[in-house]
Structure 1
Amino acid sequence: MSDKSLCPPVLHEPASSSLGLEATLADLPSYDCLVDVAVSGFALASWLARYPRVPGAIVMDRGRLEGVITRQQLLEFAIRPSGATILEQPLQALWGYLERDCLTLPVELPIVQAMKRAVSRTIGLLTDPIVVQCAEGPRLLDTRALIVADWQIRGIETQARYERMQLQAIQNDKLASLGRLVDGVAHQILDPVGFIWGNLSHLGSYGEQLVQLVDAYRDWAEQSKQPIPWTITNLEESVDFDFLRDDLPLLLSSLRNGAERLKAIVSSLQNFCHLDDVYPHPTDLHQRLNSIVLLLQSRLSVQIEFVRNYGSLPPVCCYGSQIDRALMAVLVNAVDVLLERGTRAQLKAVTLSAAEQPYIEINTWVEQDAAAHSWAVVSIADNGPGLTAIQRQQILENFQLDRHRVKETGLTATHHIITSRHGGQLDLLDRPSGGLEVVIRLPLA
């Protein structure tokens, strides 16, 4: 069979020449170059000489893929003693000399993974073309095209990583500026609050003394049997002195509670917006949790009960601001789920039962594992609908993926902070009574 009886190779170009991070083998040019085992080696060599861009040929036997013959193989065989004479025989007779392992990959395989498979071959096969299995049949891919595409994708990844680093640096700078601004504003708020708080005790003392003075005048007037001038009597009735005397302690107590709450909120805001520490420091997790709960309660439109069952936790050595973000993400996720259910109930005019009233339960304790490692454990549970099987699978898959390749959600960021930054553990548990429980374990030194 001569080379003229062989069909010309068909080049399949991709629809677009641009490659993305998720590009597959379908985005690379490949050749439809099938030859039958009945073709002679000399005819195949002449055919390849007519089409210098084709890296080789796919050998077929009655529609079954036998393997690949490359240009280099034919050249090496031709320079052997009597090689030119042997090449005049059909490929079927030469296959014992020419047969070698070929790499076959599906067309939907990403280019990055295909490159890993290609370079894992033995040294002698590294430059061999690759068979790509398509719906229309096998095609031949030049390994050089795969290498160039892989380098392009690596460059795109490097550029994307650089841009992410720049964006992260800008965001960190903005957060740092915002943190300094919030810290300054909080300090300016705390100063007048401190004045109010410090003077409330004096105001209460002065009020008691004035009441005692008025009572003393009243006693003197009663004992002296002298009539009280009508101007004083009218003034006493107009100001309702008895009511003022009873209400003044309540008013001072309300002011004291308001100032104390404002001080606690501003202090919590200061702690939450504190800049990242360079080194981990001992941190009171209970204080962090209380601060976050206080901030969340100020934004709630639906009443959510926070049940806190704190155990005896020692200070945990950690990055305080990062732990704040992790705990905030978990609590915000629970609050959003409960708010959504409460809003739906309000729209449908449905009254929730006592067991359905939204609540978040926070438990802390210390535990030891089988290896005698001590852990500080924080459990945050809600009585919401919990996670579906699909949602749980998606979250767990995001935990395993590169965090730069996925859209980072609250739980994904929390998982990274707890596991990667602190060497801890994060588990998602279904509660028997319904709802989701997030268990965070941080190592104790």
Structure 2
Amino acid sequence: MRFVNGSRSEGADLLDSLADALHDPMLVFDAGLRVLYANDAAFQLVARLHGATPAPLDVVGAWHPDLVSPAALAVAATEGEWVGEVSLPAMSEAHPIALRVQLVALRSAGEARYGFVARDVSADHARRDELSNRNAELKEAYRKLKGAQEQLIQSEKLASIGQLAAGVAHEINNPIGYVHSNLGTLADYSRHLLTLIGTYEEALRSPGPAATAEIAELRRRFDIDFVVDDLPALLSESREGIERVRKIVQDLKDFSRSDRGDGWVVADIHRGLDSTLNIVWNEIKYKGQIVKSFGDLPAIECLPSELNQVFMNILMNAAQAISDQGIITISTGSDGGHVWVAIGDDGEGIPETNLLRIFDPFFTTKPVGKGTGLGLAISYGIVAKHNGRIDVTSTPGQGSMFRIVLPVKQPAAPAAE
């Protein structure tokens, strides 16, 4: 110990005063754990541990049996220092006292001495536990929010299908109607052909002019030549009708399903656009002509059902923006590691004051009952989840253009599911 000015006695008194002023407990003890010095903070610590100040406090173990472990002392003796944490139960406190301890080997007149300095880090531990608890609560809140968001997306999807139900039913009823009619005609054809076959069998068993005449009469009466020409056409038309129904039902199934838990897949954007057009066709075919200009696109990593919902919302908005007859354009292309889909219309357009709000939840200019104001907000969220963006340009009286840009491959961890 060096004293720059003043005597050793004065320096020792000053150091003693400084040690007592510190908030950190300090002890000095010898190799036999006999306490040689303790500051005021050390006595305050022992009072907290025991509920009172025990006596005598001549050895470290009397302060607390776990205050200095043999292992810590051994490390300090061999390496000169041990730093670590100890947790000590306190009689008067609900939680253990956590101490950050520095144990230092000292030398005095050739004898081993040890210095013990501790800092109470209980508050730090409490804050860390509190942060851990808050983090767990935030994770749970995020999980619930995520579930609510997915439910909202699914609800909006089903609501869209509900709005399209009449049109979809019409699209299904048309082919079902002529298939049903064709089946009645095919039943008549089958009955006539079976009757004719039976007559041929009789003629083979009893050939003669009478049998030949009967066959000729049946062919005339049943108009067999027309049946032979018409039957393949009826079968082909019926097959096309059933295929049309099957395609609509499959597209509805694909659209209405939830992507939750299915994971990200590599899918064809053009197939999704065609599938969505098939669902909304009855809603837009009376409003506008569809003009498609599809580029050469790579398959992209995505949630297909959710992207189809985006396409549906924008296509339906385009149809509703056309008051009488117009044109809806669908263009696609690729640019580096991204693909884009542009859906435009020559409808009434969007005023500039509304253009800034179209992605706000519950914002809608449609009459009550015609829209929830969630379609574009949900679409924006879906595209954002795909690490993409939606750009909108519009001129009142001339139409609007929505341009969706999506990455071909998602980052290593797509917007977490």
What TM-score comes out, normalization by structure 1 length?
0.43
Higher CA-based Rg: 2
What TM-score comes out, normalization by structure 2 length?
0.46
